[in-house]
Amino acid sequence: MSFLPGTLHTRYRDEVRLLDSGFMRFWCAAGLFAALITPLALSNFWTGIANQSLIAIVGALALNLLMGVTGQISLGHAGFLAAGAFTAAALATHFNAPIVVSLVCAMIGGALIGVLVGLPALRLKGLYLAVSTLAAHFVIVVGLGQYQNAASDGAGFAMPPPSAFGFSISTERQWFYALLPVAIVVLLIQINWLRSEFGRAWMAIHHRDVSAEVLGINVARYKLYAFSASTALTCLCGALSAYHTGFVSVDAFDVHLLIQYLAMVIIGGLGSLLGAILGAIFVIVTPHLITVAANAMSPLQGMGGKIFEIEIGLFGVIMLIFLVLEPRGLAGIWARVSAYFLLWPFKFRAWES
């Protein structure tokens, strides 16, 4: 993980280790500790926001895998989230399935959807791929709407309170300690994917698929892997959010949700794991901060019902600013700031990694 001169390994085993220095070990332990005590320091409401952020991190990492790493634009992720949520809802309603079973089933179903959507994607590139995934989004949402009208009273499905391994998960604090390991496991899986054969193949496809093929990478197969891995994790995210919200309705999975997830990976910085995490937290937390700030400022209180619209508009403006001014996103800013402190008192280094 370190690109700076000075960390030299003498054994292959050291190269493979994730926490390869005392510095990394210390900061990862500190980060984990900070994450563990977070819910103790936060009120119930803000713990709920933290839980939403954890779920969003899973989804943003999944979308980043497809868009940032493999370079395949997907505008269908809100549809895939809906598919995951409805898989969980259907299993819980019809078969009384426990949460672990429905999460696993949602992931398997998601992988299958990924193959289905990925197959046409083998022929399509760039713009056309974006559009066909957007079309897939609308088809999925309308189809699930039909199912919702037929199988529930039309309004949606109420999810049972989940329990796993003998623990029931009901309060926001319990949710936090259930979701944190899930997010960490997903992150670890992705870290290991990216530094193995898969990640290298995906990045090669991102840069130029024809030259990737010449290098001996089976482009079709690795594109399908990327699609099914991404949609499986997206469906996991959808199913988790279904249980966390306690209610599933197709109305929640509109284009606005899609835009939120796009904003996460763009604001965070396409192709960066840290970026996906920062972007997810930014996108979930910022609207609430805006609300708090608006409530604090008395002249804005008259805006009342319009605050939601203004929030969304600000969102679009932030996305535009990042696209035009900082395409590498929050991760790019982070890299620049940390490089500044690492190199101080020098201004730049002679080589760029």
For residue 254, the SS3 value is coil
Per CB under 8 A, 286 contacts other proteins: no
Which residues touch 31 (CB under 8 Å, ≥6 apart)?
A: none
Near other proteins by CB under 8 A: residue from 135, 182, 189, 335: 135
* Per-residue interface string for the shown chain with other proteins, residues 48-67, x marking contact by CB under 8 A: -------------------x
Select the span of 58-66, 104-112, 219-227, 319-327 touching other proteins (CB under 8 A).
319-327
Per CB under 8 A, 187 contacts other proteins: no
Nearer to other proteins, 181 or 313 (CB): 313
In the window 323-342, what residues touch other proteins (CB under 8 A)? 323-324, 327
Cβ atoms of 64 and 229 closer than 8 Å: no
Per CB under 8 A, 40 contacts other proteins: no
Smallest distance, other proteins to C-beta of residue 316, A = 4
Cβ atoms of 183 and 244 closer than 8 Å: no
Per CB under 8 A, 210 contacts other proteins: yes
Q: How distant is the alpha carbon of residue 166 from its chain centre? A: 28
Smallest distance, other proteins to C-beta of residue 119, A = 9
Per CB under 8 A, 128 contacts other proteins: yes
What is residue 298's DSSP assignment? G
Smallest distance, other proteins to C-beta of residue 319, A = 4
Near other proteins by CB under 8 A: residue from 151, 294, 319, 339: 319
Cα separation, 238 vs 71, in Å, equals 22
Per CB under 8 A, 47 contacts other proteins: no
* Per-residue interface string for the shown chain with other proteins, residues 244-273, x marking contact by CB under 8 A: ------------x--x--xx--x-------
CB-neighbour burial class of residue 42 (10 A; exposed 0-12, middle 13-18, buried 19+): middle
Residue with tokens 């999810």: 159
CB-neighbour burial class of residue 148 (10 A; exposed 0-12, middle 13-18, buried 19+): buried
Near other proteins by CB under 8 A: residue from 61, 136, 224, 278: 136
Cβ atoms of 105 and 169 closer than 8 Å: no
Per CB under 8 A, 131 contacts other proteins: yes
What is residue 326's DSSP assignment? -
Nearer to other proteins, 128 or 177 (CB): 128
The amino acid present at 71, given as its one-letter code, is: G
Cα separation, 235 vs 80, in Å, equals 6
Per CB under 8 A, 171 contacts other proteins: no
Among candidates 283, 202, 258, 226, which has minimal Cα distance to 75? 258
Cα separation, 68 vs 272, in Å, equals 7
**Residue 193 is encoded by which pair of tokens?**
């994917």
Nearer to other proteins, 8 or 324 (CB): 324
Near other proteins by CB under 8 A: residue from 134, 159, 204, 273: 134
Per CB under 8 A, 208 contacts other proteins: yes
Nearer to other proteins, 222 or 322 (CB): 322
**C-beta atoms surrounding 209 within 10 Å:** 19
Cα separation, 163 vs 175, in Å, equals 11
Residues near other proteins, by CB under 8 A: 67, 73, 120, 123-128, 130-132, 134-136, 138-139, 142-143, 145-146, 208, 210-211, 214, 256, 259, 262-263, 266, 306, 309-310, 312-313, 315-317, 319-320, 323-324, 327
